[in-house]
Amino acid sequence: MLSKLKLNVAAVSAVAALAMTSGHALAQKKYDTGATDTEIKIGNIMPYSGPASAYGVIGKMEEAYFKMINDQGGINGRKITFITYDDGYSPPKAVEQARKLVESDEVLLIFGPLGTPSNSAIQKYLNAKKVPQLFVATGATKFGEPKEFPWTMGWQPAYQSESRVYAKHLLATKPDAKIAILYQNDDFGKDMLKGLKDGLGAKASQIIAEDSYEVSEPTIDSHIIKLKASGADVFVSFTTPKFAAQAIKKVAELGWKPMYIQSNVGASVGSVLKPAGFENAQGILSAAYAKDGADPQWDNDEGMKKFYAFLAKYAPDMNKADGSVVYGYGQAQTLVQVLKQAGDNLTRENIMKQAANLKDFVPDTLLPGVKINTSPTDFYPIDQLQIMQFKGEKYELQGPIITGGMGGS
């Protein structure tokens, strides 16, 4: 009888131990749709065609970066499956692709979808579905508002943050400026315009001309002619690559010599300034938060050594002078950091929690002094820039790192 009792006690203990072990195992690993012991499914939407197709290389870079991560064993033993679709920079197409990624492909999150119009179109849907819309490739202010959209987070500096930096530069270097502005007629252009006006404050009255264009327009030459006629001595171009290159060419063709400020998204040496002609781009000002992949000053930089080694092995056809190539690398590296922090808790909720808990994270490609910081109330990961001016065949950095002031607490 005693031996039978001992046996029963032993059996109960064994069952209890098993229950505790399995409970511990369950506590260790939590998955939502799109994550398993072996895989993390990530969705992406890019304009591989259409008026913003110059940005398509970002998606290709991210795909190559995740291949490198998989070759290194993945993230916490899990391989990344990267599913990327073309939306042609069309909001209705972006909605269609987002639904396909969430409902058919069953991805864990949508990472780095590009463009203000496309992200605006899918934001409410993804937030209603509680699917992370993480590190969107646009600086529109609406993608850093955690109270209203807790499942959406930006990555690059907010457009208003960037244009406030230009305002600070103008106030310091050309206080009597007569300013003409060309901007894209969407949230990107309007955000840039608002930031500049806010930054200029009382001096916003020095804006003597402003004109907008539609992305469907084949050429913006008529807008440039109109703005030159205003008599402005500062030209601010809040444009995307195709139109930025057109503006640079036309300003040069007209013999107009204003102080020329070009928004970061259209300031790439490889995809904008070279096609526009380096001779036409001399003296152009912009602001940067990332290193120029083609600038020899970074040849001995530890981070850029890793970047160049990556390009040589995984993306040999990519143009290191294209700012979008540097962008895709830094953005992908930031997502990998979030996934590493998430550990075995790969729920959508924890992905957003970790994305909102980045502390002084420095991707290989950011300028010295620029760091990524987020919190539950700060969904603007990068909020620092430095003025740069194009000379010869590259940009030269000027002055200190400037904080745009869009971050929360």
pLDDT at 409: 35
As to burial, measured by CB atoms within 10 angstroms (0-12 exposed, 13-18 middle, 19+ buried), residue 73 is: exposed
351 confidence band (pLDDT: 50, 70, 90): very high
What's the 3-state SS for 49-104? Answer: CCCCHHHHHHHHHHHHHHHHHHHCCCECCEEEEEEEEECCCCHHHHHHHHHHHHHH
What are 189-200's pLDDT values in tens digits?
999 999 999 999
- Calpha distance 156→374 (Å, rounded): 12
pLDDT at 90: 96
User: C-alpha distances in angstroms, 148 versus 136, 152, 289, 376?
Assistant: 16, 9, 27, 12
Give the CATH number of domain 158-286. 3.40.50.2300
One fold for 34-156+297-377 and 158-286: yes
26 confidence band (pLDDT: 50, 70, 90): very low
pLDDT at 408: 47
pLDDT at 404: 81
Mean pLDDT of 167-184: 96
What are 89-113's pLDDT values in tens digits?
999 999 999 999 999 999 999 999 9
List residues bridging with 378 in a β-sheet.
375
As to burial, measured by CB atoms within 10 angstroms (0-12 exposed, 13-18 middle, 19+ buried), residue 81 is: middle
2 confidence band (pLDDT: 50, 70, 90): very low
- The encoded tokens of residue 81 equal 């499956």
What are 48-59's pLDDT values in tens digits?
999 899 999 999
More confident residue, 334 or 28: 334
Mean pLDDT, the chain, rounded, equals 93
Percent of the chain with pLDDT over 70: 93
Q: Are 298 and 291 a contacting pair, CB within 8 Å?
A: yes
What are 357-401's pLDDT values in tens digits?
999 999 999 999 999 999 999 999 999 999 999 999 999 999 999
What are 6-24's pLDDT values in tens digits?
545 555 554 445 444 444 4
Say which residue the tokens 């033993």 belong to: 77
Mean pLDDT of 268-291: 96
289 confidence band (pLDDT: 50, 70, 90): very high
Q: Classify 1 as helix, strand or coil.
A: coil
- Calpha distance 360→350 (Å, rounded): 19
- Calpha distance 320→28 (Å, rounded): 41
Mean pLDDT of 124-148: 96
Mean pLDDT of 340-348: 98
Domain boundaries, the chain: 34-156+297-377, 158-286
Total Cβ atoms within 10 A of residue 212: 16
Task: Report the candidate in 362, 322, 348, 338 with the shortest Cα–Cα distance to residue 60.
Answer: 322
Q: What is the CA radius of gyration of the chain?
A: 24
- Calpha distance 213→384 (Å, rounded): 28
pLDDT of residue 4 exceeding 70, the answer is: no
Q: Are 51 and 215 a contacting pair, CB within 8 Å?
A: yes
pTM over 0.75: yes
- The encoded tokens of residue 231 equal 């008599």
pLDDT at 23: 44
User: C-alpha distances in angstroms, 110 versus 40, 98, 129?
Assistant: 12, 8, 12
pLDDT at 406: 74
Q: Are 203 and 168 a contacting pair, CB within 8 Å?
A: no
Residues in Cβ contact with 206 at an 8 Å cutoff, skipping those fewer than 6 apart? 176, 177, 178, 179, 200
Q: Which CATH architecture has domain 34-156+297-377?
A: 3-Layer(aba) Sandwich (3.40)
Task: Report the candidate in 189, 269, 186 with the shortest Cα–Cα distance to residue 236.
Answer: 189
Read off the amino acid at residue 363.
Answer: P
List residues bridging with 46 in a β-sheet.
86
Please, what's the b/e burial string for 17-49 (b: 16 or more CB within 10 A of its CB; e: otherwise)?
Answer: eeeeeeeeeeeeeeebebbeeebbbbbbbbbbe
Task: Report the candidate in 365, 398, 376 with the shortest Cα–Cα distance to residue 261.
Answer: 398
